Amino acid sequence: MKTAIFSALLLARALTQVAAAVEAYEISPENSSVLFKVRLLWTTNISGSFREGVSGRVSIDPDAPQRSVVKLEIKTGTLDTGLSGLNNQIKGAGFLDVERFPIITFKNTSTEKLNDQQYNLTGELTFHGVTKQVTFRSDLIGQSKGSNGESRTGSDNYLVIKRSEFGVEGDVGAVGDEIYLTIRIRN
């Protein structure tokens, strides 16, 4: 009888530890952002961000990465380059067309663990009304405490896309095709 109780306690402890290993959280729009950079006239870059418009859900299982889920939404209207005229141009019909395409989405279809801190996420990116499969590197950041003592965690994710593959054709001669993205996800 004592052996059965002891075994049950060990099993319960093991299951608790396995469940604790899964990291799941809602993405905080206030603490998350997407940084972008694109070449302009072969001499400089346009850079900016989408701030307070990033949301979604993350569930990473280090022991079974194939069960991990990442769902991400980015509100295109939150784009900011620091220059209102440039913001309006990029948000307009020639580029993002935020009226027709207000959301960029990503949902992973597979996750590959590279090491304890890095993963490759493959999934469906829908941008400007076009859905393509993409793969990007995800670097987990360490857990820390926020200003109110709450637990903070997240990841920095790196991706390069070609705007022409998503039907964003505005100003092809002056603006580069490759968009460099850093997606900063925080809970």
For residue 10, the model assigns a pLDDT of 44
How crowded is residue 64: how many other Cβ atoms within 10 Å of its Cβ? 13
pLDDT of residue 15: 47
Per-residue pLDDT of the chain (187 residues; tens, 9 = 90+): 555 444 444 444 444 444 446 888 999 999 999 999 998 877 788 999 998 999 999 998 888 998 999 999 999 999 999 999 999 999 999 889 999 999 999 999 999 999 988 999 999 999 999 999 999 999 988 766 666 766 668 899 999 999 999 998 777 667 888 999 999 999 8
Q: Which amino acid is located at 44 in the chain?
A: T
* Strand order from edge to edge, sheet including 118-127: 23-27, 54-60, 69-75, 103-113, 118-127, 130-145, 151-162, 175-186, 33-40, 44-51, 79-80
Closest-CA residue to 121 (of 163, 155, 67, 70): 70
Single pTM value for the model:
0.81
The pLDDT, as a whole number, for residue 148 is 73
114 vs 104: CA distance, rounded Å: 26
Domains in the chain: boundaries: 22-186
Identify the CATH class of 22-186.
mainly beta
